[in-house]
Structure 1
Amino acid sequence: MKTPGHDVAPQKLAAQLLRSYEAGSSFFFASPRRTLLAQGTFATVPHAGGTNSLEKLPERVAKVLADARQADHDIPIAVGAVPFDGRVPAQLVVPMTLQRAGPLVFDDTVAPSPGLPPRYTVQPVPEPSAYLDGVARALKLMESGPLRKVVLSRSLHLSATTPIDLQRLLYNLARRNPSGFTFAVDLPQRPSAAPGEGRRTLIGASPELLVSRNGMQVLANPLAGSAARSPDPIEDQARAAALLESPKDLHEHAVVIDAVAEAMRPFCKTLDVPAKPSLVSTQTMWHLSSRITGELSDPSITSLTLAVALHPTPAVCGYPTELAHAAIGHIEPFERGYYTGTVGWCDANGDGQWAVTIRCAEADEHSLRLFAGAGIVAGSKPEAELAETEAKFRTMLQAMGLGQTTGAQP
């Protein structure tokens, strides 16, 4: 395993890894406790073929890691991204080199890096009016059948005339979201892309941990139920208090927590599920949060095994899962790809950490596709759900130096 020199201070080491990120040849993942930079590709986890890339994915990863060790490769870890829909191949690799450090720490006395030059054309997909219609369609489905929740998302397509500086964008995301999971993952070229169209990168700052494993201890931290932050401190606290008492949001949260706990129980000999949610915040949002902890019943259960069993949770798909997935396919006018999948790592011991792939964009040299969604349940108001997606877009837009914009030319 590649390690930096011993003369590098721990705080400087994490910052050094962030500065060393290079789009097209790196995987970057920062959590509140550690920073990880993987570079190069020793081996790629093969695709399953067929219609479900997630089928036996943990077993395929375990074999690739075992083969790498047999070949005397001393980086026993797989990193990358798992898609929302199993029809899209998972993108996981064993890197050539790996560097780890503690959490990123930023000097508050130093002015933050300015945003990227705000010279983009912006196209909402779907248009806001079409999204409102989609929410109304989802609510009608709930009136006439067993569907209890569906998560509907939107996309913003931003195009620039100059190359996008992803290293700078990643820095801005990490600085603005120290309590979340900042990531950048190389993606394969689109099948329809012309030769030379270049790289794709999945980049973002997720507030939500899908699951982590450390030895026999596991943690899932689903978020469901949200409210936009306010710049006014009094109003901001009022919104937080209202979220904790909101019947609609508490119902939405309970649907998610029940499903996550049900998925985890077969793997755990003990499981602790909080009786009620707490609040967590980012710079742009308040969220209802529940930290579900457990002890595994079998040491062979890996973090990726748990991630695949949990994915997709009702926080990003809906409930019941199959009905929600079908509704998404009928209502959303685009393919999600890796958005609302999971991003992270799993080592040969089974330990690892997987974040939910939200507050993110898919980027190439001159464009980004931003994504944001909202959970629709009985009692949802289309205009409120549209406003929630606008607030969630701010994580990426603010890191890019843009305000709240879905117009044609900032």
Structure 2
Amino acid sequence: MSLIVRTTRLSASDDLLDHLPEDYPLAWVRRGEGLVAFGRAAEIRTAGPTRFSDAGKWFAELAARSEVTDEVDEPGTGLVAFGAFAFADEPGHSTLIVPEMVIGRRGATTWITTVNDALQPMPEPVAPTPDLAWSDGALDRETWLETVRNAVSRIQHGDLDKVVLARDLIVTTAEPIDVRGPLRRLAAEYPNTWTFHVDGLFGATPELLVRRERGLVTSRVLAGTIRRTGDDGQDLALAAALARSSKDLEEHEYAVESVASALEAHCSSMNVPEAPYVLHLPNVMHLATDVTGVAHDSSTALELAASLHPSAAVGGTPTEAALALITELEGMDRDRYAGPVGWIDASGDGEWGIALRSAQITGNQIRLFAGCGIVGSSDADAEWIESEAKFVPVRDALGG
């Protein structure tokens, strides 16, 4: 297969998400910038431990065969693919999709990319949200609390240092949901996150796994969370407490170390701040660290994402012990929750987030996910409260 790809400037100032039709929408937007797309010009589905390399090889070969005219020359122009990858080697499925049309915005520049002269459809009105029925996922409250206590005991006995345990909620709808509605609400309510949708997986992640942009590599690490109250004075006090919390600082340190160690193999001039800052979001506050470096090899954004996944922020430390404990205790298939989600262009630039604050649509069922980092000083009830706070963005976007 070969593709004819053309990118031209576009005079448009409306919201990117307003361009999306109901069929096959793809999105990666933040603060009004990013990429939206639709249609499927080409696609690969992969699984197992070679899912990243299989997808990357397929895309590189497709790019080499394609005829590309790019009048804009920005990251995200020309041939672009959107992807979402499974958290674990097994089970789970991953996908990389080349859309028929992409509309992008970066600063004052807006562009449109067409593949094989695709025509832009007229977006239909967003359908109202159907009735929702909520239920527990794999584990109810008491079972999940006991699972966290079990993990704390394992950590205190020296089996590992940290593990991230997740839980899910199930929503059943009377009819399939139009994902454009939740996407618009997430983008409006959480503008500092990356609002995304790829192949039924949608959400608003605050965590950028990796960005590669003309040689500069960036990763935002989040670990350590506290719920906001809505009272500015109280929230400032909570932010100060979070910044001093030994439990949260320990959890955060493991996550930063895992990212810095993975990037060090690909980057020079690494900058790893000594202390985190507090990232304020509408529902929670996180300890955050932005790690940067200059790429000294030819690794693409997808290859960098593969080398970083799973970081301690979504798996634990040591990695193998944490993943084994997740499989033993969590009681569910994460599928693509907490896996890389984002985009890559033919030059190797791209942005990949971690699929957090997310949900998976499958027919008339939606699975919401939330996870918490567990260390030796974790309290199960506090972790439950944290997980409830992490459900809020998608729950509110669905109208639940």
Match of 2:97 in 1: 93
Report deviation, 1:123.
Answer: 2.6
Structure 1 unpaired stretches of 5+: 105-112, 187-200, 403-410
- Of stretches 204-213 and 227-236 in structure 1, the one that deviates more from structure 2 is 227-236
Listed as ranges, the matches of 1:269-280 within 5 Å are 269-280=268-279
Letter matched to residue 243 of structure 2: L
**TM-score normalised over the length of structure 1:** 0.85
Q: How many residues align?
A: 372
Alignment of 1:137-286 (within 5 A): 137-186=150-199, 201-286=200-285
More strand by share: 2
Q: Which amino acid aligns with 1:346?
A: I
Structure 2 Cα separation of the partners of residues 71 and 175 of structure 1? 34
| 2:117 corresponds to | none
In the alignment, is the contact (CA less than 8 A) between 2:210 and 2:353 conserved in 1? yes
Distance 1:8 1:51 in 2: 42
How far apart, in 1, do the equivalents of 2:88 and 2:259 lie?
Answer: 18
| 1:367-401 superposed Cα distances (whole Å, 9 cap, x missing partner) | 21100010000100011111100010001111222
Distance in 1 (CA, whole Å) between partners of 2:267 and 2:49 is: 30
**CA 1:50–1:366 in 2, change beyond 3 Å: closer, same or farther?**
closer
The answer for the alignment partner of 1:190 in structure 2 is none
The runs of 5 or more residues in structure 2 that have no matched partner are 71-76, 109-125
Residue pair 1:75, 1:97 contacting (<8 A) in 2 also: no
* 4+ long deviations beyond 6 Å: 2-5
Please give the per-residue CA displacement for 1:47-72, whole angstroms capped at 9, x wherever unaligned.
Answer: 3x665423454333322322334999
Instruction: Give the whole-Å Cα distance in 2 for the aligned partners of 1:233 and 1:70.
Output: 51
Question: 1:116 Cα shift?
Answer: 4.0
- Once the two structures are superposed, what CA deviation does each residue of 1:264-297 show, in whole Å capped at 9, x if it has no partner? 0010121000010001121111000001111111
- The whole-number CA distance in structure 2 between the counterparts of 1:51 and 1:210 is 19
Q: Which string of whole-angstrom CA distances, capped at 9 and with x for unpartnered residues, describes residues 244-272 of structure 1?
A: 00000001000110111000001012100
Residue 143 of structure 2, aligned match among 114, 130, 134: 130
Task: Name the CA distance, whole Å, in 1 between partners of 2:239 and 2:128.
Answer: 28
Alignment of 1:9-408 (within 5 A): 9=13, 12=14, 15=15, 17-32=16-31, 34-45=33-44, 47=46, 52-69=50-67, 75-87=78-90, 88-102=92-106, 116=129, 119-186=132-199, 201-298=200-297, 300-402=298-400
For 1:204 and 1:129, locate their aligned partners in 2 and report how far apart those are by CA, in whole Å: 27
Partner Cα separation in structure 2 for residue 70 and residue 115 of structure 1: 39
SS in 1 for 2:134: strand
Q: Is the 8 A contact 1:75 1:94 kept in 2?
A: no
> Cα offset for 1:339?
0.2
- Structure 2 length normalisation: TM-score? 0.87
Q: 1:32 to 1:19 in 2, by over 3 A?
A: closer
Q: Quick one: distance in 2 between partners of 1:55 and 1:352? A: 16
Q: Which amino acid aligns with 1:8?
A: A
Secondary structure, in 3 states, of the residue corresponding to 1:392? helix
- Is this contact kept in 1: 2:81–2:343, CA < 8 A? yes
